[in-house]
Structure 1
Amino acid sequence: MYCIARNGVAADMLGLAAEIGYSETAFLEAIGDREYRVRFFSPQAEVDFCGHATVAAAVALADAELGAGELLLHSNVGEIRVSVATVGNGYHATLTTVAPKTAELPSGPLAELLAALDWEVEDLDPDLPIGLAFGGLWHPILWAVTRERLAELEYDFAALTALMRREGWGTVSLLTRERADLIHSRNAFPIGGVVEDPATSAAAAALGGLLRTNGLLPAGGKFRVLQGEDMGQPCLLDVDASGHGGIRVSGTARRLHTDKTSGN
């Protein structure tokens, strides 16, 4: 979801995001030719970076007035460049994140995280690395031992919210790997006021950085993330973590509203 920001008042943007009710809403303010200041709000708080809202906003801008081309967005975490291309009768957008980072997930927060999720150590895939990863936001990365375990997502909303706020995490990224270039994902997002996010490009980018760091990228450095399947809202994220620097995440969007001030 995106809106054109007119007065830049955080309380007003937060109120509108809560009224809209999507996991994140992007607010854009034009500051130059194809250049915008962007802020993201969940129904409960401002979020420093949101990849899927970036993709949706870029597609909506292209559809409404700008057409294909390059965009420069100034976010709370830095510059985000987005390339928009024409595909069929619509548009396809590719964002490039700020430089990714990885870190160890300490044993204490890990134990608290597993307890909040009602997971045991045996529920983790021993062959894939857990950790913290950053592509604009920090995300703990956990790999479920089976796809069936991933499908069973019932967690302590209050406990996970408190833990995420204390640790500064964006979402909790829960994954299984079908093969090197195809990963299934669920992203718990209680700090945003929703149980789960159907698409999280920021987490997909962070995952790309973690896989790059651990030498686990497929040949060519590209893979796909399937998210939202268990919510009945399947979303496909294409990730390119080849080379160095920012991670590239691609996707498209479709319009749900026709009001000139908003789109998706």
Structure 2
Amino acid sequence: MHDVLKYVAFTSTASGGNAAGVVLDAHGLSDGQMLAIAADLGYSESAFLFPEGGHAYRIRYFSPLAEVAFCGHATIAAAVALGERIGPAVVDLFTQAGPVQVEITKGDGITATLTSPPSSTRPATGEELRRALEALRWSADDLDPAYPPHVANAGNDHLVLAAATRERLADLDYDFDALAELMAEGGWTTVHLFWAESRTVFHARDPFPPGGVVEDPATGAAAAAFTGYLRHLGRLDDGEVVTIHQGADMGRPSLLTTTPVPGDTRVKVSGAAVPIS
């Protein structure tokens, strides 16, 4: 028997955030069984931990359709679940995208701060942008020219596109099959759509067709990649805190905070999580 815990991450209330399944000891589960659990839950991702002694764990992530190399919100959910059992700690997670250290702290609730795999970014090609805009049913005029289209990575690839207005971001009605095809070809986990409220405050939405999900209400891996993208563009200083509001347009408000690691390409991503029944 393997206990499957359920949490929502990047929220302090059960009515917000992004749901994730968590199995704290997945030894004995096959790939097919983990995928079946994730599919049965229907959450965008679920995390499966394999204790290796002390505060070290191998961790694997599954969407309802496939394994994912790294997932931020399921990492936060798993870390909070661990924190409820072991208290404040620093845990070492070994993901398919590389090692991820997580600091678990306790105040009014339990908060987890992960340090992402190294981030990188490149400009999107003209063809990638053309097909993405067509699938999203956006025009070039819907983009904010201050933020060039890129494919950013901090464990997974994400196409990053800036909406010119909050209204454009709020009106999300895209061609699921066309975007899924493009993302499969590019190996992108989400398309990270955002609007800049200010230099360090952003609103985001993340279509997630590869996971069989229309939209992700909170995407920690994309937030890390996006923060690395901002630093690469010279729009963010080391140690500066970024606030990302996500999920509000789908009724699941989520709050993510990120900080570039000084002298490094990695990014810290912080959030709370709460159990759900």
2:221 equivalent to 1:202: yes
The residue correspondences of 1:22-33 to structure 2 (distance < 5 A) are 22-33=43-54
Q: Aligned-pair distance for 1:12?
A: 0.6
The AA in structure 2 aligned to 1:132 is V
1:8, 1:202 → 2: CA distance? 25
Matching residue of 1:79 = 99
* Aligned match for 1:141, one of 142, 146, 160: 160
Report sequence identity in percent: 45
Q: Aligned-pair distance for 1:245?
A: 3.0
The residue correspondences of 1:195-234 to structure 2 (distance < 5 A) are 195-217=214-236, 220-234=239-253
Contact 1:180 1:218 in 2 (8 A): no
The residue correspondences of 1:101-250 to structure 2 (distance < 5 A) are 101-217=120-236, 220-243=239-262, 244-250=264-270
Matching residue of 1:262 = none
The residue correspondences of 1:28-39 to structure 2 (distance < 5 A) are 28-39=49-60
Q: Aligned-pair distance for 1:219?
A: 8.0
Contact 1:222 1:242 in 2 (8 A): no
- SS in structure 2 of the partner of residue 224 of structure 1: strand
Query: Where has structure 1 moved over 4 Å in runs of 4 or more?
Result: none
1:204, 1:87 → 2: CA distance? 24
Q: Aligned-pair distance for 1:129?
A: 2.1
Provide the alpha-carbon RMSD of the alignment. 1.1
2:241, 2:209 → 1: CA distance? 29
Matching residue of 1:260 = none
1:150, 1:97 → 2: CA distance? 26
* Aligned match for 2:38, one of 17, 24, 27: 17
- Structure 1 unaligned blocks of 5 or more: 258-264
1:148, 1:109 → 2: CA distance? 24
The AA in structure 1 aligned to 2:47 is A
2:203, 2:62 → 1: CA distance? 25
Q: Aligned-pair distance for 1:211?
A: 0.5
Q: Aligned-pair distance for 1:94?
A: 0.3
Q: 1:172 to 1:251 in 2, by over 3 A?
A: same
Deviation by residue 1:19-44 (Cα, 9 ceiling, x = unmatched): 01111100111012111110111111
Query: TM-score normalised to the size of structure 1?
Result: 0.94
Q: Aligned-pair distance for 1:98?
A: 1.1
Matching residue of 1:252 = 272
Q: Aligned-pair distance for 1:7?
A: 1.7
Q: 1:121 to 1:94 in 2, by over 3 A?
A: same
2:61 equivalent to 1:40: yes
Contact 1:22 1:43 in 2 (8 A): yes
1:221, 1:182 → 2: CA distance? 11
Higher relative contact order (CA 8 A, sep 6+): 2
